[in-house]
Every structure is written in structure tokens, then in C-alpha cells.
A and B are shown apart, each in its own frame.
Chain A
Amino acid sequence: MSTNGSKPLLEVEGLHARYPVGRGIVGTVSRAPKLEVRAVDGVSFSLKRGEMLALVGESGCGKTSTAQSILRMIELSGGSIRFDGEEISGLSAKQLRPLRRRMQIVYQDPYESLDPRFRVGATIEEPLQVHGIGSKDDRREEVKRALELAGLTPPELYIDRYPHELSGGQRQRVAIAASLVLHPELLVADEPVSMLDVSVRAGILSILDELRDNGLAVLMITHDLSTAAHYADRIAVMYLGRIVEEGPTREVIENAQHPYTRALLSVVPKRDPRDRGTPQILRGETPNSIHIPPGCRFNPRCPMAIAECKTVDPELRRPAASRDPEHRAACIRV
């Protein structure tokens, strides 16, 4: 794994994304307090070139919203995003356009992310056309190169196909090729393999793996801790809009400190039937992001909660028992 230089490519600080929620007629008339979904509620992290960071969490934790805010696909309510040293949180759509070439996204659903009327070649060529790059011949070369990088060789076999002629794994490779054709520096992969069969997942993820080795920064969003454990350099665990634990993968997996992370790790099913362990199953479900509990947002379900947890909102800091200086957890008891 190569990390070019020590300056991070992406630095996110205090990111907030909120949107209002309807109160209905009764609510408006009775002047009930305005409600908002605090999808991203103060998220900070950094990402270096050649590094893969996995944003992990259950549904509603804000991982997808975080990624979309970084790509400026949804509006921010606050916070700073620095891409290659430049502050991008306040840029207009026009100013963002050149930046869009350097940040790309791959979506979860390979069956929906390709226009069914576009041939593979046209889909991959589109980003080049949008940004007016190269001549027609140059573009064709780039398309072939991108197909090869995504493992679809020989490229001539795939260029004129329609998406419905391809399998799910092949379609996802096409989506990856389309995101690589602009030579981005940051790639956001939103659940890139969750809709694919197990036997083809490693093929797709190994592409991302190699790209990371060649200097691409990858932000992978996933609910699957096992996948994150295998491919990511660092893991950040999110809960209700915040990062509750982050650090190098081995450290977070083997020496998790935050009670939520520990519970999650204990209930992830393992392949070995003899490795059933003692799952720590939390009661209830994750509350919604409209009514975030006061104090530590995890305290109502936390097996280790004490009185103070209801009033103190913990900061991310290095836990006492951590074995790595980059390991952080937001819990007053560790």
C-alpha cells in the first residue's frame, strides 16, 4: 500500500447535513416544534491518497449522507470539506464542475446505475464528452483502457453491448470503468458489492484494492463489517450521524473499545460454525435521526451506560486501552 506524502487528500471537519421533516397539518396548526432529520451530525475524518477508509454502520447511521455531502450531491448545513487543500464546502455548482472530475462515485445497484439505452462504450465515454476531453479517437482509447482496468478484457467484446446483456458483476465493472475514465483521485464506493453474488464480490473488490495500491483514495460505504475488515486500511463506525469509533482496521476489529462497535462485532455471523462466540445482542432498534437521545446518543441501548452518559456528549479521543495512536472512540468509559 502506498500513501503519497503525508498530506491528506480529503479533510472533513464538523460536517452537518440536516433536512426538515413535515409536521403535517395538525403539527403546523398546533405549532409543534419544527423537526429535522440530523442525518450527518458532526462528522470529522481525513483520507490520504492510496488509502481505503470504510464508513461502516447500520441503516440510518448517516454513512451514505456523509458521502453525498462530500461529493456535494446534497446540501450541507455546516462544516468544512477540504479537497487537496482547497475548501469546497462553499463552492457554487459552476465552480464545482472541474472538481467533479477528481471525485467519482460507484453506486450499489448495478441494475439501475447504467442507462439501459446506452451501450457500454457510450456510458463510459459520457464523462469524457461532458468535460470535453480529447478527440473521438482519444476517447475511444480511454474507454478501452478503463474497461481493461475494470477487468473486462478484451474491451472490444464489451464496448458495443447493452447492459441487459451483462451479468450483475459485469455491470458493476462497467460502472467502475465509467468512474475511472476521468482519472479521479477520490472514489466513493457506496455498497459496491452488496447486490452481487458472493462468488463475484472478491473480483470487484480486488479492482478497488489494486486501484488503491496505485494511489487512488477510496471511501467505501458498507454495512458489512467482514468486507470492511478485509479490504479497508481504516474503519470508521457510525451511529446516528456521528463517528463513534475509528482507527486502523486491525486495531478496530481486534481491539474495539466503543460498546456499540463491540456489540456489532459480536453479532456479525462468522463462517466457522465452531466460532459462535457470545453475541451481544442489543435490545430494540436504532432510534431515528429526528429524535437523537441527549448526552451520548448511544446511551439508551448501551450495556455500559452510567448516569453521566445521559448528559455528556463524548468526544472522539484515544481510548486508554488502545494499541495504536490513531485509534479513537467516543465514549467516556474507555
Chain B
Amino acid sequence: MSASTQGAAAADSGLAQAAPRRPGAIKTAILTQPQALIGLAIIGAFVIIALVAPLFLSGDPKAKVGPIFEPPSTAHPLGLDGGGADMIRLLIAGTRVSLLVGFCAALVSAIIGGTIGVLSGFFGGKTDIALMRMTDYFLVIPDIPLMIVAAALFGRSLTNIIIIIGIIYWTTTARLIRAQVKSVRERVYVKRSRALGAGNGRLIFKHILPQVAPLLIANTVLLVAYAIFAETFITFLGLGDPSVISWGRLIENAFQDDAILNNAWWAIVPPGLCVTLIVLGATIFGQSLEDGLNPRLRVGHLSVRRFKVRPLRGKLDTE
């Protein structure tokens, strides 16, 4: 090997050591969109409540511990519902179920949408057309009525609810991932890998998926928001699993038990607030992640820029 190449690389090495490690894509996204942390905090709070609180409580949350619709007191800060059960214990139980349904359904959607998006974007051609046609059909079907019909037809177990929600919401994910895969597929390093003989499997799993994963994660978080809302809605309509407590069920119960007539706001507002809060949190987090991950969304400023002028330093010695 010639001296010139040796020398060049050796002197280059100084620079190589100096460059810092760049944080991962998700971390960078969070750094540029600090409001993401607010969303994450909200979700985190609920998750902690769902996991930790039941350890300190025992017995059946639905047990009657006092008169129907008793107002909030020191013993029961959120009062009692239409069956005399403690609202707080019911809410905690409901958190577990709602979050479970939300995460699982979002996962189902992400898997379906992600797979279809990857297959469509990577293979293109007839596969793409067929899959996108199917996606369009699903997009066109109104989601809520479909969920109602499916729930009414297939039974009201928790698993069914998860599946039903999962197969409604994958369409946006599929389109998003497909677009991303199409663009990554054209990158030079993917073409290079293909040129040296790499098979489709390797290209998809080693080169394309890692690039697409952050966006998929961001999108899944948004799906959690949709899914929790959907579950609440279905359950409220009376199509939910009767054996489980969820926030939707609490609201439904409150309606059935005429909470409003009894001025028992504590039976309706808290569950509704919980749903709102977590949907808000997931939306903020997911949206901020998506914004942070999409470089094209960064906008330049058109207002007149004012650069600063510093006072003159000593004049240069020019002769």
C-alpha cells in the first residue's frame, strides 16, 4: 500500500476520534419537540397507576361500600357510583382494562398496517396495486358503524374488541409506512446491497425496517389514542365485554343508572376525564414524535432576519 494512502488515512484518524456519537432517531425527535415529554409523562402516569395501584388494594372493586351515588368524602374522594362502589377503585380497575385494550389493539393495527405497508412499498407493481386497493376499501368503510356491527355479530369478549379495533385502524399506518418504504428503497445503500446480490429478506429486515421503525413506533402511539377512544365508545354503546370494568363501562353504567338525574357528576366526569387525558397524552406524544422524525416538516423562516453586529476589534497588521 502506498505511502500516500497510508499518510492520508492516518492523519484522517484524528478527525474520526473527535466526532461525537449521535443519539438515536427517537431521542433526536424528542429533543427537537420537547412537548413530547408532556405526552409521555401523562401516559407514564396512567401506566404506573394501572400497574402499581392494584398491589395496594384488595377485594372486588365493584363491591358495595356505601349508599348509591354518595357524594365525595374523605373516605371516598370521588364518591360512589350507582351500585355503591368506590369510584376510585373502579377507575383504577378501568385503567388497566382500557390501557390493555388500547395497547393491544394498537399493536394489532401496527402489525397489520406495517406489514402491508412494507410489502406494498417494497415490491411495488401488482402487489402494491392489490394491497392499496384493499386498503382503500377499508378506508372507505365507516369505522364506527363497522365496529358496532362486528361487535354485535361476533360477541362481546375483550379479545374480540381488541381484534375489531385492530382491523379498523391499520389503513393510515399502511399508507404512511408504504410511502416511507418507497423512499428508503431508492436510497443508494439499498441499491448497493441489492447489486451485490442481497435477497429481499435481507434488504427488508436489515436495511429498510430499521429506517422505518421510528415512524412506525410514532404512529403506533397515535393508534393507542384512537384505540382507547374506540373501546370507550363501543363499550358505552353497550357492546363491550360485560364481565370487565373499563372506563367506557363506567360511563355506560352511570348513564344506565341515571347519574345525571341524581346530580352525581362524580360518576360520569372522572372516567370521561381519564379517557380525554390519555388520548391527549398519546396524541401529543405520537404527533410530536412524528413531527420530529419527519425532516421535511421543519420550516424555514421567511421573516426578515437580523444578524448581530459586534464592535470592531483591533485592525489587522496589513502593510
Q: Chain A interface (Cβ within 8 Å of chain B)?
A: 71, 73, 97, 100-101, 104-105, 107, 109, 112-115, 117, 126-127, 130-131, 148-153, 157-158, 161-162, 164-167, 169-170, 173, 175, 178, 182, 200, 202-203, 206-207, 210
B297 at the interface (CB under 8 A from A): no
- Chain B 179-193, CB-CB to A under 8 Å as 1, else 0, gives 000000001111111
* B195–A210 touching, CB < 8 Å: no
Q: Chain B interface (Cβ within 8 Å of chain A)?
A: 1-2, 4-6, 8-10, 12-13, 15-17, 19, 21-22, 187-193, 195-199, 202, 207, 210-211
* B6–A153 touching, CB < 8 Å: yes
- Overall SS of chain B's interface: helix
* B188–A131 touching, CB < 8 Å: no
**Distance, CA A131 to CA B193, complexed state (A):** 12
Of B1, B16, B202, which is within 8 A of A151 by CB? B1
| Closest residue on chain B to residue A148 by CB atoms | B1
Expressed in whole angstroms, the minimum distance between the Cβ of B116 and any Cβ of chain A is 23
Interchain Cβ contacts under 8 Å between A and B, 10 examples? A73-B191, A112-B189, A113-B188, A115-B189, A126-B193, A126-B198, A153-B9, A165-B19, A178-B192, A203-B9
Of B12, B15, B187, B192, which is within 8 A of A105 by CB? B192
**Distance, CA A105 to CA B21, complexed state (A):** 29
- Chain A residues within an 8 Å CB radius of B189: 112-115
- Chain B residues within an 8 Å CB radius of A107: 188, 192
- Chain A residues within an 8 Å CB radius of B19: 164-166
Given A100-B197, A149-B1, A151-B9, A158:B192 Cβ within 8 A? no
**Distance, CA A115 to CA B203, complexed state (A):** 11
* A203–B8 touching, CB < 8 Å: yes
* B187–A112 touching, CB < 8 Å: yes
* A203–B196 touching, CB < 8 Å: no
Expressed in whole angstroms, the minimum distance between the Cβ of B21 and any Cβ of chain A is 8
Of B5, B15, B202, which is within 8 A of A207 by CB? B5
18 other contacts beyond A73-B191, A151-B6, A210-B2, with CB at 8 A cut-off? Answer: A101-B196, A104-B195, A104-B196, A105-B195, A109-B188, A112-B187, A115-B189, A117-B211, A127-B196, A130-B197, A150-B5, A157-B13, A167-B15, A167-B16, A169-B8, A170-B15, A175-B192, A203-B4
* B196–A206 touching, CB < 8 Å: no
* A167–B1 touching, CB < 8 Å: no
* B8–A130 touching, CB < 8 Å: no
* A100–B196 touching, CB < 8 Å: yes
| Closest residue on chain A to residue B9 by CB atoms | A151
| Closest residue on chain B to residue A153 by CB atoms | B9
- Chain A residues within an 8 Å CB radius of B192: 105, 107, 113, 175, 178
* A203–B5 touching, CB < 8 Å: yes
* A73–B195 touching, CB < 8 Å: yes
| Closest residue on chain B to residue A206 by CB atoms | B4
| Closest residue on chain A to residue B196 by CB atoms | A127
Expressed in whole angstroms, the minimum distance between the Cβ of B190 and any Cβ of chain A is 8
* B197–A151 touching, CB < 8 Å: no
Given A71-B195, A117-B211, A126-B198, A164:B1 Cβ within 8 A? no
Instruction: Report which residue of B2, B12, B17 has the largest number of chain A beta carbons within 10 angstroms of its beta carbon.
Output: B12
- Chain A residues within an 8 Å CB radius of B197: 97, 100-101, 127, 130-131
* B12–A169 touching, CB < 8 Å: yes
